[in-house]
Amino acid sequence: MKSSSSIFSVAVLVAALGYFVDIYDLLLFGIIRIPSLNDMGLSPEQVLTDGESILQWQMWGLLLGGIIWGVMGDKRGRLSVLFGSIVLYSLANIANGFVETVDQYKWIRFIAGLGLAGELGAGITLVSELTPKEKRGIATSLVAGIGLTGAVVAFLMKEYFHWRTCYFIGGGLGMLLLVLRISVFESGMFNQVKTMEVQRGNLFMLFNNWDRFKRYLFGILIGLPTWFVIGVLVTFSSEFGKQFGITEPIDPGKAIMFAYAAISIGDIAVGFVSQWLKSRKNALYVFYAITALFMVLFFTTQWNGSAAKMYWICAGLGFGTGFWAIFVTMGAEQFGTNLRATAATTIPNMVRGMLAIFILPLFQWLRGMDGIGFVNGGVITGIVVMSIGILAAILTKETFGKDLNFVEK
């Protein structure tokens, strides 16, 4: 099948709506963490610690699911992942509406994470392969930008419905999306590769060649700042607010909504910035700078007890981390068609998983050390994560305008 000449193709629309449902379900726990855990009778301390634990289980599911769906995307096709993943996470979210204990919550969020892992990578891979290289960055940015508004809808649902109903709505939206998926065609590049004698979806190929491994590793590391911002600063904005002396209660769900509304705008903007600069990397540096600026503001602002300032700074952080669209696109562009879905699906989920295995544990360890505490632990974690991301970006190859019709051997 030839590439669509329009960035508003059916594939782009369906991928964007799929990512919308994905983000709704992915962030719903962060938005309803406090009311759902309060409803289970947990203390404020347990709401923090058990909330972190449930979030980590979800991220472990994303990490494992990214591998499973990525390999399947190159072996069975991009569409098989889009169908299978949405069924799994939709059913899991419906089940989430019935949880009664923290342990049940952990396991079902883990299963939801497994399903959620397949959506973005497969969608971006499909759109990248169906869109002309001259328009690829804008098309993938539209997918991410439209999709990320799912967080805003999740917050609005939380404002009007019980937290259990919010999960049922997420599951129902996923099932409705399956109907739209029927109209999408498989990637022509993938269909061509199926006839070739090359290995498809071999995860170990990402590690058995030094050049490929570097591309893969740097592709993961450049995305780390996103999930430090979302998984630590925004998700736990209520706890940070208390440490800053903000007397007005902060709703982390509202903070997530502000952040993701701005990420949606940033994700669309970064595609045009990349197009204007004719560079993925330079666009990334621009948005890194914005992210770093708002990190500084997060920790140095004179709050004067105002929650409104917190929400707007979360929005600034969100806009900066709008580089997520370019980051995922770069992951797809770095690899040949026989490994593209594996790389593009595992890379963003490795970043999400790093929240569970690196970012949160580092933050927890630092804040528990004498003389550091909660706020300084966040500062140090932020410096470490941003430094890693910038170094990885410097070492990453430019992919703007790259022809994707090639294979890895």
Read off the pLDDT of residues 242-276 as tens digits, 9 standing for 90 and up: 999 998 889 998 999 999 999 999 988 999 999 99
pLDDT for 388 equals 98
11-38, pLDDT tens digit by residue? 788 888 888 998 899 889 988 999 999 9
Token representation of residue 319: 């806009």
Alpha carbons 63 and 357: distance in angstroms, whole number: 10
Please state, as a whole number, how many other Cβ atoms lie within 10 Å of the Cβ of residue 369.
11
> Could you give the angle at the alpha carbon of 332 between the alpha carbons of 326 and 336, nearest 5°?
150
pTM, to two decimals: 0.85
Q: Say how many domains are in the chain.
A: 1
CA distance 275 to 125: 19
**Residue 205 scores a pLDDT above 90:** yes
Question: How high is the pLDDT of residue 394?
Answer: 97
Average pLDDT (45-57) is: 92
Cα distances from 140 to residues 20, 133, 161, in angstroms, run 13, 11, 32
E strand or H helix that includes residue 237: helix 237-244
Mean pLDDT computed over 73-88? 86
Q: Which carries the bigger pLDDT value, residue 219 or residue 125?
A: 219
| Tokens (6 digits) for 190 | 């993938």
pLDDT-wise least confident of 21-35, 115-129, 302-316: 115-129
User: For the chain, what is the radius of gyration of the CA atoms?
Assistant: 20
Residue 401, in any domain of the structure: no
pLDDT greater than 60 at residue 332? yes
Q: Give percent helix, percent strand, percent coil of the chain, each to the nearest 5.
A: 80, 0, 20
Mean pLDDT of the chain: 90
Share of the chain above pLDDT 90, in %: 59
Examine residue 406 and state whether it is found in any structural domain, yes or no.
no
Kindly state whether residue 408 falls inside one of the protein's structural domains. no
> Which pLDDT score is estimated for 43?
92
Of 185 and 220, the one with more pLDDT: 220
Is 3 or 102 the better-scoring residue by pLDDT? Answer: 102
- CA atoms of 63 and 66, how far apart (whole Å): 5
Q: What was the pLDDT predicted at 333? A: 93
Q: Does residue 186 form part of some domain?
A: no
Q: How far apart are CA 243 and CA 246, in angstroms?
A: 8
Q: Which residue has the higher pLDDT, 148 or 104?
A: 104
266 secondary structure, DSSP code: H
Is 5's pLDDT higher than 50? no
Structural domain harbouring 73: 10-181+202-395
**Does residue 1 carry a pLDDT above 50?**
no
| DSSP assigned state of 233 | I
Answer whether residue 402 is part of any domain. no
Q: Is residue 38 part of a domain?
A: yes
User: 131 vs 363, which has greater pLDDT?
Assistant: 363
Q: What is the 3-state secondary structure (H, E, C) of 329-398?
A: HHHHHCCCCCCHHHHHHHHHHHHHHHHHHHHHHHHHHHHCCCCCHHHHHHHHHHHHHHHHHHHHHHHCCC
Residue 404 placed within a domain: no
Q: 115 near 65, Cβ under 8 Å?
A: yes
Please report whether residue 30 resides in a domain.
yes
Q: What is the CATH number of the domain that holds 370?
A: 1.20.1250.20
